[in-house]
Amino acid sequence: MDGEPMEYFIQQTVNGITLGSIYGMIAIGYTMVYGIIGMINFAHGDIFMLGAFAALITFLVLTGLVAGFPVVAALIVMMAVAILMASLWNWTIERIAYRPLRGSFRLAPLITAIGMSIVLSNFIQVTQGPRNKPIPQLVSEVYDVFGISISLKQILIVIITVVMMTAFWYLVNRTSLGRAQRATEQDRKMAALLGVDVDRTISITFIMGAALAAVAGTMYLMYYGVAVFTDGFTPGVKAFTAAVLGGIGSLPGALLGGLLIGLIESLWSAYFSIDYKDVATFSILAIVLIFKPSGILGRPEIEKV
Amino acid sequence: MKKTFISALALAASLGVGSAAWADILVGIGAPITGPNAAFGAQIQKGVEQAAADINAAGGINGEQIKLVVGDDVSDPKQGVSVANKFAADGVKVVIGHFNSGVSIPASEVYAENGILEISPAATNPVYTDRGLWNTFRTCGRDDQQGDVAGAYIAEHYKDAKVAVIHDKTPYGQGLADLTKAAMNKAGVTEVLYEGINAGDKDFSALIAKLKEAGVSLVYYGGLHTEAGLIIRQMADQGLKATLMSGDGIVSNELASIAGDAVAGTLNTFPPDPRLKPEAKDLVEKFRASGFEPEAYTMYAYAAMQVLNDAAKAAGSNDTTAIAEALKAKGPFKTVLGELSFDAKGDVTRPDYVMYEWKKGDDGKFTYVQK
């Protein structure tokens, strides 16, 4: 070993937190939709991938039009377009594929969700091609802090995650929109009787989930520099796992779950064989669920009478 | 009514295929037309199509015109087997493919049972021909030859360096990494790290921190350009100044577009560029005139069709077992790769791998240059 053991540990923790922040941001979308209508939106991972592609295309258009577009401005525009596109898609999917099936038997929306996931990834494959689409390095600064290398990209990802999470926490807990969401979550029929527009609230929930996924997609593109149509799958599964680990339906749980999975992955890789990284992650998930079936921060299901 | 109509259609369809098989010889192109390796699939397809057109123009194989059928295996072994079954049902006699060793190996068993000859322009895993099937041939080299070349190069140039061996857990990637590891171990270089990663992963930050911690200066990677490109890019991100060395799987312009400027100095073993061979001059010009750059596997696919044609002529028959016998016994055959002859297993008798380095060309684009 060349470096100090402590520095190595912190370096791997930094890597894990960055990855975990992205998982956490995607996981919020799974958990919010599950919380409000009790279904798993399997197309959410592909909404994330679609967000990454929207950001990629925006970047190419921007740099094509104006040479030397400022990086910060480019990132903001990329994120805005990604949010817009992903929200529009997720809203449409909810409207045409999930809403007509609400009240149908439980498996129907699950199957359409899987169908939508396939539709989205194939749509991107056909329209954007099957190859990896690279973009040049947007942010390349790397800082050396006491022997630990932290890139500006990693700092940006963590900061944006914190900002987005705070904004969401405020939205859900402090605004009338959030109140309507929580009411719909607790009892859809009663909320409707008390004047909450349930359909609109559900639509907005999908839009909010998609917006976060799009931000995560833009970050992902910036961090790794490539996007490909299959990108929705692995991060989607990992984020879904994060949502379950943290307690599905719980917003802080989704973030916590994401961070935990990111940390397990990088710390396992740091000290044990990388071959068994995913085995480790899912074993820990299984163990947690055996002892705490509702996840770390999830509330146990209470039968509503 | 409806039922009889459908069965009439089915009958007509099966008759259609049947009658085509009478006058023509059906050749299947088994390659990843879509999916992460589509770039290689396109090279194989272009090579075979051009060869088929040229052979047909010269009168076909023993007078039978070549008819091509394309099967998209998406680099997936399961998909490859279903493509193989479809080829068998369609009456395909010869398959040029597949690209991936992991696809070629299970598919070849389906072909063997159905009397179909398989000539792969790209499957380099030794297992492909080592099982002793009657029908497996390749115009490319074998991984163990690449492993020997890479191992010798490491022993010569990186004798005292810290070397890591990484692979993507696929038959091709791990096979290549293990063979290189064996060759370099034999020459006295022991790796400090041996790890497998998941093909399709994007985040290699943990791996790179580990490499950095171990003070690695040469990473031997068994796998394809998508992950190799990301590893090179992320090594630069984390400030790890190490060289990546790999095999023919990273040879694609996409490597440079994913890795960016950090690709400079990357090493890979690859056969001497078939485009530079004097035999290939006319064909390369023909491809370029049509707006297609015949990279990597294009010429190997073209040569696969040439040996098929010549062996069938030498055998005086289009019977696949007779062609297989002739391929092994009646060489050498003149191809765009030079003269090729096959051993009893179906491997090309002469190993041809050399070391390449990625450098910036005069046009500002990165490309691999023979060392």
Residues on chain B touching A142 (C-beta within 8 angstroms): 237-239
Measured in degrees and rounded to the nearest 5, phi and psi for residue B335 equal -135, 175
Q: What's the CA gap between B137 and B125, in Å, rounded? A: 12
Rounded Cα distance between A227 and A219, Å, is: 11
Instruction: Report CA Rg, chain B.
Output: 22
Structure confidence by residue, pLDDT tens digits, B145-198 = 899 899 999 999 999 999 999 999 998 899 999 999 999 999 999 999 999 999
Please name which of B367, B356, B359 lies closest in space to residue B264, comparing C-alpha atoms: B359
B92 φ, ψ to 5°?
-70, 140
Exposure string for A186-200, b = 16+ CB within 10 A, e = fewer: eebeebeeeebebee
Q: How many CB atoms lie within 10 A of CB A139?
A: 17
Give just the sign of the alpha carbon dihedral A171, A13, A140, B365: negative
Residue B199, chain A, CB below 8 Å: the answer is no
Whether the CB of B35 is below 8 Å from some CB of chain A: the reply is: yes
Element (H, E) at A143: strand A142-145
Q: Mean of the per-residue pLDDT values for chain B?
A: 89
In order of A255, B91, B303, B328, the CA distances from B88 in angstroms are 51, 5, 23, 24
User: B25-66, pLDDT tens digit by residue?
Assistant: 999 999 999 988 888 999 999 999 999 999 999 999 999 999
Percent of chain B with pLDDT over 90: 71
Angle at which helices A198-224 and A176-186 pack, to 10 degrees? 110
Q: Do B35 and A130 touch (CB under 8 A)?
A: yes
Question: What is the distance between the terminal CA atoms of chain A, rounded to a whole angstrom?
Answer: 61
Query: What confidence tens digit (pLDDT) does each residue in A181-214 have?
Result: 999 988 889 999 999 999 999 999 999 999 999 9
Q: State the pTM of this model.
A: 0.76
Report the run of H or E that residue A203 belongs to, with start and end: helix A198-224
Q: Is B206 exposed, middle or buried (0-12, 13-18, 19+ CB in 10 A)?
A: buried
Question: Of A2-6, B134-138, B303-307, which gets the smallest average pLDDT?
Answer: A2-6
CB A274 to CB B239 under 8 A? no
Distance of alpha carbon A292 from the chain centroid? 23
Question: Closest residue of A to B205, CA-based?
Answer: A15
Q: Given the structure tokens 């037309």, which residue do they identify?
A: B33
Residue A19 CA: distances (Å) to CA of A16, A22, A257, B171, B201 = 5, 5, 12, 29, 12
On whether any CB of chain B is under 8 Å from the CB of A275, the answer is yes
Task: Give the model's confidence band at A1: pLDDT under 50 very low, under 70 low, under 90 confident, else very high.
Answer: very low
Quote the distance between the C-alpha of residue A192 and its chain's center.
29
Interacting residues of A281 by C-beta distance below 8 A, sequence separation 6+: A238, A241, A261, A264, A265, A268
Mean pLDDT across chain A, nearest whole number? 91
Residues 44-63 of A with CB under 8 A from B: none
Q: Which of A125, A234, A269 sits opposite B34 (nearest CB)?
A: A125
Pair A246, A296: CB distance under 8 Å: yes
Q: Does B109 touch chain A (CB under 8 A)?
A: no
Query: Is residue A186 within 8 Å of A194, Cβ to Cβ?
Result: no
State the amino acid at position B160 in one-letter form: D
In angstroms, the CA B150 to CA B176 distance is: 10
Asked if pLDDT for residue B11 goes beyond 80, the answer is: no
CB contact under 8 Å between A277 and B198, yes or no, is: yes
- Section A13-19 average pLDDT: 95
Asked whether residue B16 carries a pLDDT value surpassing 50, the answer given is no
> Is A140's Cβ below 8 Å from some Cβ in B?
yes
DSSP string, A2-55: -S-HHHHHHHHHHHHHHHHHHHHHHHHHHHHHHHHHS---TTHHHHHHHHHHHH
Question: What count of residues does chain A have?
Answer: 305
Domain boundaries, chain A: 20-230
Asked if B255 and B267 touch (Cβ cutoff 8 Å), the reply is: no
Residue partners of A292: CB distance under 8 A and separation at least 6: A298
The complex's ipTM? 0.88
Whether B184 and B151 have beta carbons less than 8 Å apart is answered as: yes
Q: Cα–Cα distance between A187 and A37 in angstroms, integer?
A: 10
H or E element at residue B196:
strand B193-196
3-state secondary structure of A132: coil
- Cα–Cα distance, B298 to B271 (Å, whole number): 13
End-to-end CA distance of chain B: give it in Å, rounded. Answer: 70
